[in-house]
Structure 1
């Protein structure tokens, strides 16, 4: 039985609120060793405060479910621009949201592995760009809409402080949830950005679940390569301009094959 991507699952690939209009290049005097030695609640609150001022970011997600692996990279900003690439089931899909319009494309392998398209339709759709009609945009727009982070990292959660570790070239202090299902790394120098979240499989789908349309079961199997198994979410490119351009060439409407 083929798997169908749930729109709500793709929407949850961005579990971080993007709001405010702060300068992402600003610095914070409370940094370094002194910050890493603070109580977990103060480190958590500093990261949550930083989230309020984010204007743009890139989210990279890696996980495995069943025999399938997923890797995605999505860049979004507070001006409604968003671009993303999702690799799953041996195929790839890309999307662009700009000017209130949503465009997407996918290769034949992606259609075959992740949708109900038959071989003929998958071949016809391969590499073609589609524009989603206004009636169907809402489910796709959610992929880049401001999303609540409270499910996995919030002021209501209790954390303990772990070790300082380098995450993508930056020193980060580790916060571990009381039930050890969520681990967060917060930058200790400059802006206290959230740099990485790791969700263990037993946290549930964590917003990253995919449903097997045959059994109805959801899973988030471990991602190989991190010492804490689960869904690995890395946050980068804070404040970087998001370039989202309307695709060139012919653009079809959902439901057309272009054949």
Structure 2
């Protein structure tokens, strides 16, 4: 049961990397752009946004992405940093919620009953009920010595999550209008990559951080991620109270 739930959570890392990998693209023609980033093409702005975002020590990532395998929706709200610390929540297909904390060399997780039952397909009712009785609403932990914990920890590594932004691809990036997103003044960038259409929102004040990415069309439907709380400490602290040691239970 634990491996099933962990596998579900690990899908979030892959799905997130897929969406953040949409930038940068090639330039499309801009005719003497004015205003914020005056004189810069869409591709040049995208390059600056990627550099600034990847240079951040920490951020909060929130939104909905699609798992390529199940085609289900993964909702994520996670603060993470370059030290590999993280704290947040995620869900699969709107069925329950899992809390995740990674601090030091330990990964902590707490699943609700709905999440555990949704991820127990193919298992007997007795095994599912036993897992729910043991884990639902309770914190558990694993050390990074095990592969399961290492896989989960990859979602907490900011450098790893944003690594896909180095991919250039064959898309074209065009400047859009200025607006506001997540309470921040931004400029929009539009990119086409095959059948996929993306809109990125880049901060026009302070560092040109990426504020949001929307995937507005494609075979797997709309997706979005917002990026906030740049440089803020990640609230990754060991849970208070009793914690179930999954390593001691032998998996």
Describe the superposition over 1:66-113 as per-residue Cα deviations: whole angstroms up to 9, x where unpaired.
896542200011223111101333311101100121111111111011
For 1:92, the equivalent position in structure 2 comes to 97
What secondary structure is seen at the aligned counterpart in 2 of 1:60? Answer: strand
Compute the RMSD of aligned alpha carbons: 3.0
Instruction: From the superposition, tell whether residues 59 and 42 of structure 1 become closer, same or farther in structure 2 (CA, over 3 Å).
Output: same
For 2:134, the equivalent position in structure 1 comes to 124
For 2:203, the equivalent position in structure 1 comes to 187
Contact 1:36 1:188 in 2 (8 A): no
Shift of 1:7: 5.0
- Please, which of 230, 235, 238 is the counterpart of residue 246 of structure 1? 238
Shift of 1:10: 2.1
Describe the superposition over 1:191-226 as per-residue Cα deviations: whole angstroms up to 9, x where unpaired.
1010111124526xxxxxxxxxxxxxxxx4x4xxxx
Q: How do 1:11-26 and structure 2 match up within 5 A?
A: 11-12=13-14, 14-15=16-17
2:122 corresponds to 1:108: no
Contact 1:57 1:236 in 2 (8 A): yes
Structure 1 distance, partners of 2:72, 2:43, is: 37
What secondary structure is seen at the aligned counterpart in 2 of 1:244? Answer: coil
Point out the structure with the larger helix share: 2
Describe the superposition over 1:107-156 as per-residue Cα deviations: whole angstroms up to 9, x where unpaired.
11110113346234223311121111421321111111222646467445
For 1:137, the equivalent position in structure 2 comes to 149
What secondary structure is seen at the aligned counterpart in 2 of 1:33? Answer: coil
Identify unmatched segments of 5+ residues in structure 2.
22-33, 122-126
Contact 1:165 1:173 in 2 (8 A): yes
